[in-house]
Amino acid sequence: MQITLMKGKIDRASVTETDLHHEGSISIDRELLDAAGFLIGERVEVHNIDTGARFTTYLVEAPRASGTVDLNGAAARVAAPGDRITVVAYATFEEAEAKLFKPRVVLVGRENRALRS
């Protein structure tokens, strides 16, 4: 049996910019991507804490230590700069592996810096 679990999440990041005319995706600071164990191009769900909106997109790398969390393309219509979001990735595991797996959770503070992971 295969089980899908949360692989990791970036919790309470603030949207820094939206660009409707950019290719669709979410651009996130490389430090946050590394802390969460996310890969470039990985599919993620984005949950807008302020509005309740949820959508799926893929990850694009933003410069390390930039604090960037930008929504691009159609996602730019689902949140505004300053909105707080949670970005979640999932992975599929065999049952035995799932019982041992520990997800990476990155809590984000001011200027989109990791408070803890």
Residues with catalytic function: 25, 58
What distances in angstroms separate CA 45 from CA 57, 67, 99, 101, one per listed residue?
A: 6, 19, 23, 20
Q: Which helix (H) or strand (E) holds 97?
A: helix 95-100
SS3 string of 36-61?
A: HCCCCCCEEEEEECCCCCEEEEEEEE
Q: Which helix (H) or strand (E) holds 31?
A: helix 30-36
What tokens appear for 103 in the block? 């997800």
Q: Determine the Cα–Cα distance for residues 48 and 45; give it in Å rounded to an integer.
A: 10
